[in-house]
Amino acid sequence: MFLSVFDTFKVGVGPSSSHTIGPMVAAARFLDHLRAQPFEVAGVQASLHGSLAFTGVGHATDRAVILGLAGMRADDYDAAKAEAELARIETEHTVQPDGLGALMFHPKDDLIFDYGPALPGHANGMILRGTDRQGDVITQVTYYSIGGGFVLTEAELAAGKDSDTGAPVPFPFHTAQEMLDMADMSGKSIAEMKRTNELSRMPGADLDRGLARIWEVMNNCITRGLETEGILPGGLHVRRRAKGIYDALQAERGMNLTAPHTINDFMSTYAMAVNEENAAGGQVVTAPTNGAAGVIPATIRYWLDHVPGATMARVPEFLLTAAAIGGLIKYNASISGAECGCQAEVGSAAAMAAAGLAAVLGGTPEQIENAAEIALEHHLGMTCDPVKGLVQVPCIERNGLGAIKAVSAASLALRGDGVHLVSLDVAIETMRQTGVDMSEKYKETALGGLAVNVPNC
């Protein structure tokens, strides 16, 4: 099993990897599909199903689909250009992707939120259609946004394409136990095995440059969040808090009366800064999703800023270790809130962050696996119940607590020798089973939990 570190960590735009980045990716793929057709297409239509419909407006899925059909991409998103293009489309009722000319598209009529039963393949389903000049459908493709910005067509999902189909890698671990066995036999760390796998697919310079870029975007996102005030969009009137808390923490530094637990406030603030940026539609990195994008950057920033001996040179080791754990979770369970609740998003992110931190603090493979297991185990059963369908409440604070749990999990694991009762494989399988059993109203539909008990208008 191989999932590249750059599939796990993707530069994109907020507020949601499954509801924003995924639909933009699907739209780009559909445009390629249209370009390959032997006939002329005059217009496009889209319908959103399941969670994409129920929380699509709050997650900016409508904007993502429209901009995607216009040819814009999440990895090079320009906010000013996007706003200008949305305004033009609203007036002229056309999208103009490269190589296809002007295609008829009226957002009010041609983008449908279908609140009926979800499509059979996944809770995040969408159908994109091409029409002739009379408005009749002449081609259509069903896409599923399966979490973390990953997208599969209906045919790909049925064929089991949600896995690597490339050449074999040197360390093809499918489970945590296989990972530990390979580490023991090879004498390599988890990060070294992951790096070796990556180098079988790309040059070392590209890998190093890409990892540096991932951390640069993560860290820049923290910085923007710590410098920005105001009210987040969406109608809940949620106030950005990261800057105010961070400024207060900085002012208190050096005071003898500062309590030791104040370090938790730093971790929470770093994570909240990222997720406030995400909620505002800013540039973030899926880690492994947008909804959980703050946990890993916050844990790295905590390590760099507050732990003696931390060095930027080891950030790639952190990211590679975290990506190895994320790949196991995605392969054996899910990273999608619409599929397994927030345990699959913040829970997965905390497990990845705990593993990465344990690695750079000198942990053995067994201690790293233990750290990931502790963090995931103590997120089991966490629901995804965003108020008004926005990635704000409880998502922003939840990332802060996820970072704190990740650090605590790594610390506990490093106090032991790696021997423990519940394995990471068991925790992952338990998360999958819990997600299957969880009521749909607690899986990113905004139909249960806080989403219905908190006034949102």
**Per-residue pLDDT tens over the stretch 173-216:** 999 999 999 999 999 999 999 999 999 999 999 999 999 999 99
Rounded to an integer, the average pLDDT of 373-398 is 97
Query: pLDDT value at position 257?
Result: 78
pLDDT, position 162? 60
Residues 6+ apart with CB under 8 A from 419: 366
Task: Name the pLDDT band for 161 (thresholds 50, 70, 90).
Answer: low
Predicted confidence band of residue 254 (pLDDT cuts 50, 70, 90)? confident
Pick the range with the lowest mean pLDDT from 43-57, 161-175, 299-313. 161-175
Q: How far apart are CA 430 and CA 444, in angstroms?
A: 20
> Which helix (H) or strand (E) segment is 402 a member of?
helix 395-414
Average pLDDT over residues 220-249: 97
Per cent of the chain over pLDDT 70 is 98
pLDDT tens digits, 12-46: 999 999 999 999 999 999 999 999 999 999 999 99
For each of the domains in the chain, give its residue range(s) and CATH number, in order of start. 15-158 (3.30.1330.90), 176-453 (1.10.4100)
> Is a pLDDT exceeding 90 seen at residue 79?
no
Query: In the structure encoding, which two tokens stand for residue 321, read together?
Result: 């270790």
How does strand 94-95 pair with strand 137-147?
unpaired
Peptide bond into 288 cis (omega under 30): yes
- Confidence (pTM): 0.93
| CB of 71 closer than 8 Å to CB of 79 | no
Which is nearest to 299 in space by CA: 253, 358, 343?
A: 358
**Is the pLDDT reported for residue 457 higher than 60?**
no
What pLDDT score does 16 carry? 94
Average pLDDT over residues 114-121: 96
